[in-house]
């Protein structure tokens, strides 16, 4: 995705949805020309942030825009031992946090970005966001257990996301193995876990999460596949910083339990929220083979249990799709 103009977020930070602010006033505050402000407002529109421009009055946001607030997040998450870093733009919060982890960043560092130019998805895909309309962040977790004992971690993270979303009022949210959050059949959030550090010692994981908060229709248009957003699931407007803090709180709780007991304590709740429980599915393996069967749950390691008709097979990795039964 394109990089943002370095001043774009400054301009947006000076705009209001309640009242018009003149281009001259904004230009004065951030030290650019009025023409530059005009150009930046146009760039904002290209990113889905609509701004009313009225000659003689200035600019007003079509709807409120809440930027990430590092101080507020840090204050609310410090009691959990989390540290917060908010950046306007990065290539990928996962990539940046992996680099920080290698340089000795502390356990519990949460890195959130307003914009990713190269957000990573699973299996080499990209993660696309809409400016100010989603959450893209990564959390560094240094486990006591080694990498070999992290199976099921991404499923446990999915449980934390659904818990937080339900606490925010979401209805109809479910989990797709291994780690997507769905509203109905459409994706609402994705998880990408990348491991860092020495494979033999205690593991460190960079847990990357992307959540669509709003603007699902815009993203659907950009991606060409239907996606969902959390405000639709909640039926109300959400505050971005509050939503991020709520998710981080659940994550910290779940990860602490996971470090002591692994995935087993989350297996039943995962299954209760399994969006495709008992449904016919295809599983595309890394080797290109497709297995078909019914998704009947997960085991204590987080493997998908696939009833192939000839027995129940645990599947450790793969890409799941619903099989048409017509
Ligand atoms: C997927 O569903 O394919 C996983 C998507 C994970 C996206 C998030 S956005 C924040 C973090 N940084 C990244 O580069 N990717 C993850």
pLDDT tens per residue across span 49-71: 989 999 999 999 999 999 999 99
Please give the angle made by the CA atoms of 252, 255 and 260, to the nearest 5 degrees. 130
Atom of ligand 1 nearest to the CA of 121: 3
Q: Terminal CA-to-CA distance of the chain, rounded, Å?
A: 38
The dihedral sign for the CA sequence 154, 73, 114, 104: negative
What is the distance in A from the centroid of ligand 1 to the CA of 121?
5
Q: Is the CB of 119 under 6 A from ligand 1?
A: yes
Which of 124, 186, 209 for mutating ligand 1's site (highest number of atoms within 8 Å of CB)? Answer: 209
Given a cut of 80, whether residue 199 has pLDDT beyond it is no
Q: How far apart are CA 231 and CA 213, in angstroms?
A: 6
Q: What's the rounded Cα separation, in Å, for the pair 61 and 50?
A: 6
Q: How confident is the model at residue 325 (pLDDT cuts 50, 70, 90)?
A: low
CA distance 159 to 263: 10
Residue 197 confidence class, pLDDT cut points 50, 70, 90: low
- Global pTM? 0.94
Closest atom of ligand 1 to 122 CA is 3
Q: In what order do the strands lie in the sheet with 180-183?
A: 83-90, 109-116, 134-146, 202-212, 186-196, 180-183, 173-176
Residue nearest to atom 11 of ligand 1 (CA): 208
Give the strand pairing for 58-61 and 304-307: unpaired
Find the helix or strand (DSSP H, E) in which 180 lies.
strand 180-183
Write the pLDDT tens digit of every residue in 237-272.
999 999 999 999 999 999 999 999 999 999 999 999
pLDDT confidence tier of residue 288, bands split at 50, 70 and 90: confident
> Residue 320: helix, strand or coil by DSSP?
strand
How many whole angstroms from 10 Cα to the centroid of ligand 1? 25
Mind listing the pLDDT tens digit for each residue in 91-133?
999 999 999 999 999 999 999 999 999 999 998 899 999 999 9
Q: Considering 142, 187, 214, 240, which one is annotated as catalytic? A: 187
The answer to whether residue 236 is catalytic is no
Mean pLDDT in residue range 156-177: 98
Looking at residues 30-47, what average pLDDT do you find?
A: 90
53: helix, strand or coil: strand
Which residues does 267 contact at the CB level (< 8 Å), separation at least 6?
297, 298, 299, 300
Q: Rounded to whole angstroms, how far apart are CA atoms 205 and 97?
A: 10
pLDDT at position 61: 95
Residue 120 in contact with ligand 1 by CB distance below 6 A: yes
Q: Is 176 a catalytic residue?
A: no
104 alpha carbon to ligand 1 midpoint, in Å? 22
> Could you say which DSSP state residue 274 is in?
B
Confidence class of residue 38 from pLDDT cuts 50, 70 and 90? very high
Q: Is 135's C-beta closer than 6 angstroms to any atom of ligand 1? A: no
CA distances from 78 to 70, 110, 296 (A): 12, 11, 39
Give the per-residue pLDDT at 45. 87
pLDDT given at position 192: 97
Q: What is the pLDDT of residue 222?
A: 87
Whether residue 326 is predicted with pLDDT greater than 60 in this model: the reply is: no
Report the C-alpha gap between 40 and 313 in whole angstroms: 54
What is the Å distance from ligand 1's center to 138 Cα?
8
Q: What is the mean pLDDT of residues 283-295?
A: 91
The pLDDT, as a whole number, for residue 215 is 85
Structure tokens at 180: 């997507």
Ligand 1 pocket residue status of 178, Cβ below 6 Å: no
Of 138, 161, 192, the residue with max ligand 1 atoms within 8 A of its CB, to mutate for a pocket test, comes to 192
Has 187 been annotated as catalytic? Answer: yes
Per-residue pLDDT band for 4 (boundaries 50, 70, 90) equals confident
Mean pLDDT within 41-47: 88
pLDDT of 196 over the 90 cut: no
Residue 300 C-alpha from the chain's centroid: 25
List, as one string, the DSSP characters of 142-168.
EEEEEGGG-TTHHHHHHHHHHHHHHHT
The reply to whether ligand 1 has any atom less than 6 angstroms from the CB of 196 is no
Distance from Cα 129 to the centre of ligand 1, integer Å: 10
As a whole number, the mean pLDDT across the chain is 94
């Amino acid at each position: 995705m394109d990089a943002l103009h370095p001043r774009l977020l400054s301009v947006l930070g000076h705009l209001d949805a309640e009242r018009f602010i003149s281009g001259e006033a904004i230009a004065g505050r951030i030290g650019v020309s009025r023409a530059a402000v005009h150009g930046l407002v146009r760039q904002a529109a290209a990113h889905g942030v609509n701004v009313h421009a009225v000659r003689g009055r200035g600019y007003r946001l079509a709807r409120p825009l809440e930027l990430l607030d590092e101080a507020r997040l840090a204050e609310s998450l410090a009691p959990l031992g989390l540290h917060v870093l908010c950046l306007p733009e990065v290539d990928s919060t996962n990539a940046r946090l992996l680099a920080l982890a290698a340089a000795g960043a502390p356990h519990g560092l949460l890195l959130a970005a307003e914009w990713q130019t190269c957000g990573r998805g699973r299996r080499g895909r990209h993660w696309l966001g809409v400016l100010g309309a989603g959450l893209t962040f990564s959390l560094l977790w240094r486990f006591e257990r080694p990498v070999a004992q992290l199976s099921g971690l991404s499923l446990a993270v999915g449980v934390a996301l659904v818990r937080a979303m339900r606490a925010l009022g979401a209805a109809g949210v479910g989990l797709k193995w291994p780690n997507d959050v769905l509203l109905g059949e459409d994706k609402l959030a994705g998880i990408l876990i990348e491991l860092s550090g020495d494979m033999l010692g205690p593991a460190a994981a960079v847990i990357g999460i992307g959540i669509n908060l709003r603007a699902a229709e815009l993203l659907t248009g950009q991606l060409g596949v239907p996606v969902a957003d959390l405000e639709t699931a909640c039926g109300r407007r959400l505050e971005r910083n509050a939503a991020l803090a709520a998710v981080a709180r659940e994550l910290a709780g779940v990860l602490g339990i996971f470090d002591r007991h692994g995935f087993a304590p989350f297996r039943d709740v995962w299954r209760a929220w399994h969006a495709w429980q008992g449904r016919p599915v295809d599983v595309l393996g890394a080797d290109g083979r497709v297995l078909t069967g019914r998704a009947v749950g997960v085991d204590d390691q987080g493997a998908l249990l696939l009833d192939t008709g000839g027995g129940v097979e645990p599947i450790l990795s793969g890409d799941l799709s619903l099989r048409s039964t017509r």
